Amino acid sequence: PVVLGIESTCDETAAAVVRGKTLLSNVVASSMEEHARYGGVIPEIASRAHAEAFVPVVSKAMKDSGLRLDDLDAIAVSAGPGLAGCLAVGVSGAKALAWTAKKPLYGINHVIGHIAVTQLQFGAFPNDTLALIVSGGHTSLLHVRDIARHVDVVGTTLDDAAGECFDKVARLLGFPYPGGPHIDRHAKLGNAGALKVPMGLTQGRSGQEHPYDFSFSGVKTAVARWVENRQACGADVPVDDVCASLADSVATVLAGKAMKACKRFDSGTLIVGGGFSANSQLRAKLSNEGEKHGIQVRIPELKLCTDNGAMVAVLGANLVEAGVDPSPEDFPINSSMPMDVISL
Ligand code: ATP
Ligand code: MG
Ligand code: FE
């Protein structure tokens, strides 16, 4: 099926057209630079930017695909999770477009899109596959029984997401928002054994050790305390070493628990998605561990890791192929959409 995907959950206004698992066009506009001086995304500014970019981005995605609206089998849009004002712009635009073009519309889960997008590079994935989702807002292990119909949450972070942890430490080190990529760059130059960063392990939700949950707020606090102690006694902060130690600790925990979950659910494949999957230390760790355990690790190329329209379009195509009903005309946005909801 030919599907137009529209994305506006945060600071990217994006649209893409796919035919099945083939990408025909992919257009991304970002309001990131407008937020950088505030040290984080300002929802009001992001919403306005979506309102300005929506039509130009969608029309360029259609033009680049060489198709007309009439050629589409369906339209898909991220209905959550994300910033409410941002979601409202994308969903309203998509509803208007679907209504005038008389096309079915799917309100989809952005997070599941981060998993679905790997199909553009690696093809369809087997049922009962394990997925690691790592982004600015989420860090979870999912059991994908059927990408169009059934996803279960196996484990999740009890506090900060991996990307959030990197962004917070980056801020402490004086890097501009978003700091994740800066930590990545400096980590390549440092010694990962320089400081002892606690592992983002957890005691689990109910007190006993839970093998598939994460906790990164202690990691952030430990690094912050170490840096502040150095600063207090007037010593230099070895930025590269701090970054390398942090990155190594986070990547080790994520890869370790992901492998454990693959074993537990008997999955020979690990799907990885979300903005943090752009992280070099995590990519290296996952591919090493995957090789060691005989698990095929599927990580998207960098431009498909961060938010884009292709992830929405390809999940939309999965839904059409599976014969899932389109969303009702009055479907809502859901800024905290649960991860086991695939479409509305
Ligand atoms: P969600 O998908 O959970 O709604 P989001 O869309 O805000 O959250 P993404 O855009 O998927 O998140 O990812 C952004 C996050 O990825 C930021 O925290 C950013 O710092 C982090 N990130 C991006 N590239 C890298 C990198 N190379 N190393 C570390 N972190 C990175
Ligand atoms: Mg973003
Ligand atoms: Fe995202």
**CB neighbour list of residue 302: distance below 8 Å, 6 or more residues apart:** 278
DSSP string, 228-252: HHHHHTT----HHHHHHHHHHHHHH
Strand order from edge to edge, sheet including 150-156: 150-156, 139-146, 129-134, 269-273, 296-298
Q: What is the pLDDT of residue 202?
A: 58
**Cα 300 off chain centre by:** 11
Q: Which residues of 113-135 are buried (b: 16+ CB within 10 A; e: fewer)?
A: bbbbbbbbeeeebeeebbbbbbb
pTM score, whole prediction: 0.94
Instruction: Identify the three-state secondary structure at position 140.
Output: strand
Q: What is the pLDDT of residue 208?
A: 62
Residue with the smallest CA separation from ligand 1 atom 15 is: 136
Q: What is the pLDDT of residue 207?
A: 59
Q: What angle do CA 145, 150, 151 make, to 5 degrees?
A: 75
Q: What is the pLDDT of residue 136?
A: 84
Q: What is the pLDDT of residue 209?
A: 62
Q: What is the pLDDT of residue 77?
A: 99
- The answer to whether the bond into 126 is cis (omega within 30° of 0) is no
Q: What is the pLDDT of residue 189?
A: 97
Low-confidence ranges of the chain (pLDDT < 70): 200-209
Q: What is the pLDDT of residue 231?
A: 87
Length of the chain equals 344
**CB neighbour list of residue 323: distance below 8 Å, 6 or more residues apart:** none
Pairing verdict, β 74-80 and 105-109: parallel
| 160-174 pLDDT per residue, tens | 999 999 999 999 999
In whole angstroms, what is the distance from residue 281 CA to residue 284 CA?
5
CA dihedral 257, 263, 269, 273 (to 10 degrees): -20
Residue with the smallest CA separation from ligand 1 atom 28 is: 279
146: β partners: 150
Q: How many CB atoms lie within 10 A of CB 12?
A: 22
Q: What is the pLDDT of residue 283?
A: 98
Q: What is the pLDDT of residue 198?
A: 75
Question: Of the residues 110, 153, 183, 276, which should be mutated to test ligand 1's pocket, given the most ligand atoms within 8 Å of the CB?
Answer: 276
End-to-end CA distance of the chain: 19
Residue with the smallest CA separation from ligand 1 atom 2 is: 135
Q: What is the pLDDT of residue 200?
A: 67
Pocket, ligand 1, Cβ cutoff 6 A? 9-10, 81-82, 110-111, 114, 135-138, 163, 166-167, 178-181, 183-184, 274-276, 278-279, 306-307
| 28-68 pLDDT per residue, tens | 999 888 887 787 889 999 999 999 999 999 999 999 999 99
Instruction: Identify the three-state secondary structure at position 115.
Output: helix
